[in-house]
Chain A
Amino acid sequence: MLFNSLSFIFGFLPAALLLFYLLGRVHRTAGVIFLTAASLGFYARWRPQDLWILGFAIVFNFLVGGVIQRLHAAGRLRAVRGVLAIGVVVDLGLLGYYKYANFVVDNLALATGRDITLHHIVLPLAISFFTFQKIAYLNDSARGEVRGTGFLEFSLFAAFFPQLLSGPIVHYSEIIPQLRGRMFTRFQARNLMIGLAIFSFGLFKKTVIADTLALYANPLFTHVASQHYDVARGWSASFSYMLQLYFDFSGYSDMAIGLARMFGVKLPLNFHSPLRAASIIDYWRRWHMSLQRFLLAYVYQPIAIPLNRWSAERGFGRWPGFAVTVGVPTFVTFLLSGIWHGAGWTFIVFGLLHALYVLTNQIWREIEKAARKRRRQAKLPPLEPGWLRILGYRLLTTFALGFTNVFFRATSVADGWTVSKAMLGLSGGIGSAFDGTAMSLDMALVVGVAALIVVLFPNTQQIMSAYRPATNYAEWRGVNHPPLMWRWRPTPFGFAFLAAVFFAGLMMVQRGEAVFLYFNF
């Protein structure tokens, strides 16, 4: 069942809300049990035979987390590390088997020339997301940040349907206190309507914008070998997909945040206008934020901290030290980020390209830092970048992303290279821009409007900023205000506007219920 389906919007959701609040009114535990069961039912609706995997992940991590918490309380930190390692290995083993076994075996067979085959393993929906959430839970337990979790509340935390399928990847400390809050299971019209507003914006992004962009982007990435790409056609493909991906995934994230809010739970942000970022580092702070937070905390830092110590002990100079303390963890983190997205060489190229971009950005920052230091020493005022320079940074970031997104979308590295080569001008000029094969008038209109929305308009949390739309919104409140700022208010006009947004989103569902792009991961 998709969030953008009529059966969900008019069937599952109202029924779940009604029963949750009715049962919660009778007894809080009844509401929690119901919501957990509804979440598991929601998951089972996709492929009932995969429910056991989610069930196993819940039970296993609850038990292992409990052991870790007890060991931590007893001060047995070495044992904590051991049990944590076992838990993480089992979680990653499950993910590895379901997501990567076919890829590894196929490539092994190719590399060795031996006839090694493995039956096709169907990827259980959301396994990448819920595995990371459980790993975060185990790590939080090992850090002593988790105490006294009951099985029921853990199950709800682990299976809560709004964020189960594609995130945001949440931490224990963000959700459990809310589930224990006095007002949880109590109906509040305010939460319902704020949630509905956020959900409506997400629905609009998905069905009106992303699915329209898909009509143009998909043909440009289908049968790539048989199409001719020049510069114009290559960039048309890249930009239309980049915008589609942004509106699709940020639309999903808004819907997830809105749905959780309807049940009285706030989730963390997953996007904060990443396509307005002025650097690739800034971009990664704002794109799929909950994944980046996970990778930073559980991949980057565990690698960078000992390397920093080691580099300091060895007395490495500026650039060798930079290579060890920043280069290595960045490279590993983005490689893993690429692999996390999918078992394929295109995702590895995607990860490596981003590693290269981020490292280049880090080097640039080092150079700028040194320049600022020199100015300070010369007692000159700091040089702030002007608007033209910031515009240049933004354009550079956007164009750089154009290449990575091509590999993210392409079905093979060869296809990705065909499009990228054209974008670099190695396959012809811009002739297709004039004969209408790169971008028809209607496509130009759709892509143009989508780009203007990205550049000029506020994002969902900025529109809803008066109502603390996410757990971590305070951190982002003042970041990157758009040229056209507008805040939603609960006035008759506000509700009528919301109705129009919801109506438009609902109508476009009728074109066909398209799966969210991130459901593939």
Chain B
Amino acid sequence: MKRVHWLRGAVVFATAVAGLCVAAAALPDNEYQRYETLEKTIQNRIRWIYERVHDDPAPVDVALIGSSRFGAGISVPQLEAGLRRLGTPVRAVNFSLPENGRDLNWVLLDQLLTTKTPRLLVIGVIEKPGRYGHPAFKYVAPAAAVADPAYFGNLDYLHNLIYLPYRQMRLFAAVHFPELLGLPLTFDPARYPGSNLETTGTTRTGDNILLARDRVVPRAHLDALVARYRRGLNPPILGSRLADVEFGDERTYIRRMVALARAKHVRVAFLYMTYFSGGDAIQERPFYTQYGPIIDASWVATHPEWFTDAVHLNKFGAQALTAWLAPRVAVLLRPEPAA
């Protein structure tokens, strides 16, 4: 074969690599298997979320979505019981997962709305959103969503994009060799933990880490954890005009979530929780209030006996917060007065 000039060869090389990446990224997959890939990680609850949406016929009236703070803070069985006592029998789900990142929340909401029509969506918000998307987004989001940068300044975009061809090759192989890759093709009722999964209290993650949340932490230790947490709270850098860039993940995907919810006539509310002793203002308050009311649960931050670390409630804190939240959710479930 004829030799080519080295620079032309470089072009052939780059084109071929790009072509292979695109071809691999376009490989078909099985959506259920995608949600199984995080089975042995701290995000293992994500398979249950998929199964609750697609394989469990029980309706969803109230959906809570947010970070692990909300997973540890709101007990769905207790919330349902509380609402029942208040004469509002509903089915609720807590789709909160460890780590911040609104892009994944949007993916999960999109899934939820394909099969269920909740009456209320409660989005968990914290004092200051992160600048990055969710680390699990690249594993479970549809290929088109990963390929879409969504907003200018998406710091995760290239990192997520380069993962896509590998992910699709693996999932494509998993469709044909599910046992070899340990990813069953279909829903197995024996593995399903039930409709109203308890996310509060002590749990064990997929990678076998025990999250002991039924204990009271010494105050000094809690203060040290809070001090460390506060050091990581970097104030906005780019100013309010560029907030859509700096906090693009939060703002873009909240807008998308609200748009999805509104299309299905789902009412949206925000639940604010802060860290222990945190008295900070909600950085994005004006942004959130455009789309729905904020339920301010910052009062729990004054109770050291309710925290297992700087930001997560123990089961006692979760009981108190859920009991407090039930009547507020009941109010939001009432039909909105006509404008």
Contact = CB atoms under 8 A, between A and B. Distances in A.
Interface string A286-305: 00000000000000000000
A492 B6 contact: no
A490 B9 contact: yes
A492 B1 contact: yes
Contact of B9 (A193, A442, A503, A507): A193
Given A442-B180, A503-B17, A507-B165, A496 B10 contact: no
Give chain B's interface residue range (CB within 8 Å of chain A): 20 to 34
A387 interface: no
A503 B19 CA distance: 10
Contacts of B167: 510
Nearest to B166: A510
B287 interface: no
A495 B3 contact: no
Interface in B1-58: 1-7, 9-10, 12-17, 20-21, 24
B165 A491 contact: no
Given A495-B12, A499-B12, A192 B6 contact: yes
B162 interface: yes
Contacts of A491: 1-4
Contacts of A493: 1
Nearest to A11: B158
Q: Select the residue from A492, A494, A495, A510 with max chain B CB neighbours within 10 A.
A: A495
B159 interface: yes
Interface in B246-289: none
B187 interface: no
Interface residues of A, number: 27
Interface string B156-171: 0011001101110100
Interface string B200-223: 000000000000000000000000
A503 B165 CA distance: 10
Contacts of B13: 193, 196, 495-496, 498-499, 502
A507 B180 CA distance: 19
B12 A492 contact: yes
Contact of A6 (B1, B16, B159, B165): B159
Given A192-B10, A495-B9, A510-B166, A490 B16 contact: no
A500 B7 contact: no
Nearest to B159: A6
A369 interface: no
A487 interface: no
A488 B193 CA distance: 55
Given A498-B13, A507-B165, A193 B158 contact: no
Nearest to B12: A495
B16 A500 contact: yes
A507 B4 contact: no
Interface in B137-167: 158-159, 162-163, 165-167
**A interface SS class:** helix
B162 A10 contact: yes
Contact of A507 (B5, B6, B12, B166): B166
Contacts of B158: 10
A118 interface: no
A500 B165 CA distance: 13
A180 interface: no
Contacts of A498: 13
A334 B2 CA distance: 49
A500 B16 CA distance: 8
Interface in A474-511: 489-496, 498-500, 502-503, 506-508, 510-511
A503 B20 contact: yes
B170 to A, nearest CB: 9
B180 to A, nearest CB: 7
A6 B9 contact: no
Contacts of B10: 189, 192-193, 495
Nearest to A9: B162
Given A503-B17, A510-B166, A489 B3 contact: yes
A133 B1 CA distance: 43
A491 B5 CA distance: 9
Nearest to A193: B6
Contact of B17 (A6, A489, A499): A499
A389 interface: no
A111 to B, nearest CB: 39
A494 B3 CA distance: 9
Contact of A190 (B6, B20, B21, B180): B6
Contacts of A502: 13, 17
Nearest to A502: B17
B164 to A, nearest CB: 9
Given A442-B180, A495-B13, A498-B13, A489 B1 contact: yes
Nearest to A504: B20
Nearest to A497: B16
A332 B162 CA distance: 49
Contact of B7 (A189, A494, A496): A189
Q: Select the residue from B9, B20, B167, B169 with max chain A CB neighbours within 10 A.
A: B9
A498 B7 CA distance: 14
A496 B6 CA distance: 13
Q: Select the residue from B1, B14, B180 with max chain A CB neighbours within 10 A.
A: B1
A490 B3 contact: yes
Interface in B169-183: 169, 180
Given A190-B6, A490-B6, A499 B1 contact: no
Interface in A435-487: 442
A502 B13 CA distance: 9
Given A499-B12, A510-B163, A510-B166, A490 B24 contact: no
B104 to A, nearest CB: 19
A192 B24 CA distance: 26
Contacts of A10: 158, 162
Contacts of A508: 166
B21 A503 contact: yes
B24 A499 contact: no
A242 B4 CA distance: 39
Nearest to B6: A189
A153 B166 CA distance: 41
A6 B162 contact: yes
A193 B10 CA distance: 7
Contact of A496 (B12, B21, B24): B12
A487 to B, nearest CB: 13
A211 to B, nearest CB: 13
Contact of A492 (B4, B17, B21, B159): B4
Nearest to A194: B6
Interface in A377-435: none
Contacts of B14: 499
A510 B4 CA distance: 32
Contacts of A507: 24, 165-166, 169
5 contacts: A188-B6, A495-B4, A499-B17, A502-B17, A506-B162
Interface of A: 6, 10, 188-190, 192-193, 196, 442, 489-496, 498-500, 502-503, 506-508, 510-511
Given A492-B1, A494-B1, A498-B13, 9 more contacts: A189-B10, A192-B10, A442-B180, A490-B9, A499-B12, A499-B16, A500-B16, A502-B13, A510-B162
Closest 7 CB pairs of A and B: A499-B16, A189-B6, A510-B166, A491-B1, A495-B12, A503-B20, A507-B166
